[in-house]
């Protein structure tokens, strides 16, 4: 899905790519919507047909060769570009050896996360965050992972997606939490700067970002739709949060089924 935030209301607008067009999903909330997987899956990279999708949209050979599918994408503190073993060195230069942000957010509760500077605020929307606050700017993805690991000693670094989908959490004073956490990782930051340079980590003075989602009814019990088990997902669209479509019949993580050919009717 493609998303954007309205500057006046802070509400997210979603669009679903359908062929060469973008279907405005917010307008369909409260209405019947049917998604039907045709059985075709095309690799996001090579576009060849594949029986199974790996790493959210790739065939097995591409998953094994692409840097975007390497384990260090999930665990940035293990980035091995500097060791000369990156699967695609130029991709690493373009995507990992660039500024990243370490942020606090309110998803299923307080958590720490990282993102490339080009992915703000998309990353927060994808995770279903209702609040976000960048607290550090760092030189590379590796360094962002090291800072995240330090903060993860004190707060969560993952979202409980089921809790996130059951409604918006109470607001958290992320500015106060930031000031509380920074002294707790001071020694870790000092070590990172000794190894990677004084400019490796820059403390930020950012403004809090509030995000709201187009949801008219949150589920009280989470049931998941899965195109691999049932090719048809149908019901009244009750809202969208993160990468999830919320139907009265269950929820579906659209990103999980990237590269699936789907027919839409509404």
Residue 225 has pLDDT above 90, yes or no: yes
* In contact, 120 and 99? CB cutoff 8 Å: no
Q: What is the pLDDT of residue 126?
A: 95
Tens of pLDDT, residues 133-158: 999 999 999 999 999 999 999 999 99
Tens of pLDDT, residues 27-79: 999 999 999 999 999 999 999 999 999 999 999 999 999 999 999 999 999 99
Query: Measured between alpha carbons, how far is 172 from 25 in angstroms, rounded to an integer?
Result: 29
- b/e for 235-265, b at 16 or more Cβ within 10 A? bbbbbbbbbbbbbeebbbbbebbbbbebeee
Bridge partners of 37, per DSSP, are 262
Query: Measured between alpha carbons, how far is 28 from 2 in angstroms, rounded to an integer?
Result: 15
Residue 108 has pLDDT above 90, yes or no: yes
Q: What is the pLDDT of residue 7?
A: 87
Q: Where are the domains of the chain?
A: 2-55+214-265, 98-112+134-161+171-210
Query: Measured between alpha carbons, how far is 252 from 161 in angstroms, rounded to an integer?
Result: 11
Confidence band (pLDDT; 50, 70, 90) for 19? confident
Confidence band (pLDDT; 50, 70, 90) for 194? very high
Question: Would you tell me how many other CB atoms lie within 10 Å of the CB of residue 43?
Answer: 19
Query: Average model confidence (pLDDT) for the chain?
Result: 95
In the predicted model, what is the mean pLDDT of residues 91-115?
Answer: 97
Residue 91 has pLDDT above 90, yes or no: yes
Query: Measured between alpha carbons, how far is 26 from 28 in angstroms, rounded to an integer?
Result: 5
């Amino acid at each position: 899905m493609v998303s954007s935030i309205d500057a006046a209301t802070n509400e997210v607008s979603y669009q679903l790519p359908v062929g060469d067009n973008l279907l405005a999903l917010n307008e369909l909330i409260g209405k019947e919507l049917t998604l039907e997987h045709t059985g075709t899956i095309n690799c996001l990279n090579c576009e060849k047909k594949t029986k199974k999708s790996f790493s959210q949209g790739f065939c097995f050979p591409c998953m094994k060769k692409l840097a975007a599918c390497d384990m260090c994408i999930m665990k940035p503190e293990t980035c091995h570009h500097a060791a000369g073993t990156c699967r695609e060195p130029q991709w690493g230069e373009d995507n990992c050896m660039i500024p990243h942000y370490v942020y606090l957010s309110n998803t299923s509760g307080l958590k720490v996360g990282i993102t490339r500077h080009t992915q703000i605020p998309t990353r927060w929307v994808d995770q279903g965050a209702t609040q976000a606050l960048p607290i550090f700017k760092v030189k590379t993805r590796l360094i962002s992972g090291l800072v995240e690991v330090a903060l993860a000693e004190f707060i969560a670094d993952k979202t409980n997606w089921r809790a996130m989908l059951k409604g918006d959490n109470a607001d958290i004073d992320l500015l106060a939490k930031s000031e509380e956490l920074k002294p707790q990782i001071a020694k870790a930051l000092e070590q990172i700067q000794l190894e990677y340079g004084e400019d490796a980590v820059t403390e930020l003075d950012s403004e809090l970002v509030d995000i709201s989602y187009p949801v008219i009814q949150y589920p009280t019990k989470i049931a998941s739709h899965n195109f691999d088990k049932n090719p048809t997902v149908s019901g009244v669209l009750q809202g969208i949060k993160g990468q999830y479509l919320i139907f009265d019949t269950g929820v579906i993580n659209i990103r999980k089924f990237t590269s699936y050919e789907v027919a839409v009717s509404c």
